[in-house]
Amino acid sequence: MSIATMTLFHSPASPFVRKVLVLLHETGQVDRVELKTINLTPVNPVAELNADNPAGKIPALRLADGSVLFDSRVIVEYLDQQHVGSPLIPREGAARWRRLTLAALADAIMDAAVLTRYETFLRPQEKRWDEWVEAQQGKVRRGLENLEREHIAELHAVFDVAAIGVACGLGYLDLRMPDFGWRERQPKLAAWYAEVSQRASMVATDPARG
Ligand SMILES: N[C@@H](CCC(=O)N[C@@H](CS)C(=O)NCC(=O)O)C(=O)O
């Protein structure tokens, strides 16, 4: 019998959804959430999702009482307060702001990569704007350079909200921008990612598994 009391609007390719799923695995809460798979793009919205999240974006999490949480940052914070293990978001102090800022950098990389995908895949060819794509990819490049230069030790320290975000962002680059070549430019990040990709939570949520 299912013990799921929450519903997650989901797509296996979304790095933002994957963050939530990885956190669910890492905190032993996977069985509490039923997945509702949604096929959407910004120009192909889903009415049921729009009713719950006016932004029409995933992830969105419907709770047992019918209320809905979004976006991924709010959902991971909520879920991190629903288990008894070590928190994956420090509750207070300097560590909290440092890890949340690193998680925000991971989100920024994902945002720029998702927008690149929309521009290069969704937008009709004759309307594509190369400079805009280049600018988004510049954000990804600068983010990865910053991680390589300043954050490798912090990433190795603990697989928490920040590390989960970075890992899901890198997974999305491999999925949607396989020729981006980030491993050659960021070898320390690549070594860290090779290690964390082996975690059960990452394997179970690998979008390449379908
Ligand atoms: N800031 C949001 C970003 C979520 C997001 O961009 N999700 C994409 C899928 S990866 C989406 O729903 N896109 C549909 C749209 O933009 O209309 C979060 O952290 O949840």
Strand arrangement of the beta sheet that strand 68-69 belongs to = 33-37, 6-10, 60-62, 68-69
Last residue of one domain, picked from the residues 80, 115, 146? 80
Same domain? For 119 and 64 the reply is no
Q: What does the alpha-carbon distance between residue 163 and residue 34 come to, in Å, rounded to a whole number?
A: 25
Give the Å distance between the CA of 16 and the centre of ligand 1.
Answer: 7
Q: Residue of the nearest CA to atom 10 in ligand 1?
A: 14
Assess if residue 53 is contained within a domain.
Answer: yes
CA of 1 to the centre of ligand 1 (A): 32
- Which residue has its alpha carbon closest to ligand 1 atom 11? 57
Domain boundary among 30, 50, 80: 80
The pLDDT tens digits of the residues spanning 8-19 come to: 999 999 999 999
- The candidate with the shortest Cα–Cα distance to 168, out of 191, 201, 138, 125, is 201
Number of domains forming the structure of the chain: 2
| Nearest Cα residue to 193 out of 155, 160, 161 | 155
Q: What average pLDDT does the segment 70-78 reach?
A: 98
87 within domain boundaries: no
Q: If pLDDT is split at 50, 70 and 90, which confidence band does 2 have?
A: low
Asked if residue 42 belongs to a domain, the reply is: yes
- Tens digit of each residue's pLDDT (9 = 90 or more) over 113-147: 999 999 999 999 999 999 999 999 999 999 999 99
Q: Is residue 86 part of a domain?
A: no
Q: State in Å: Cα 8 to ligand 1 middle.
A: 13
In a domain, 181, yes or no: yes
205 lies in a domain? no
Do both 103 and 63 map to the same domain? no
Tokens at residue 124, please? 């009709």
Whichever domain contains 183, its CATH number is 1.20.1050.10
Residues 101 and 193 in one domain: yes
pLDDT of residue 114: 98
Overall size of the chain counted in residues: 210
pLDDT of amino acid 11: 96
* Domain ranges, residue 59: 6-80
Residue of the nearest CA to atom 17 in ligand 1? 42
Instruction: Tell whether 153 and 114 lie within a shared domain.
Output: yes
- pLDDT, the chain, mean: 96
Kindly state whether residues 113 and 73 are assigned to the same domain: no
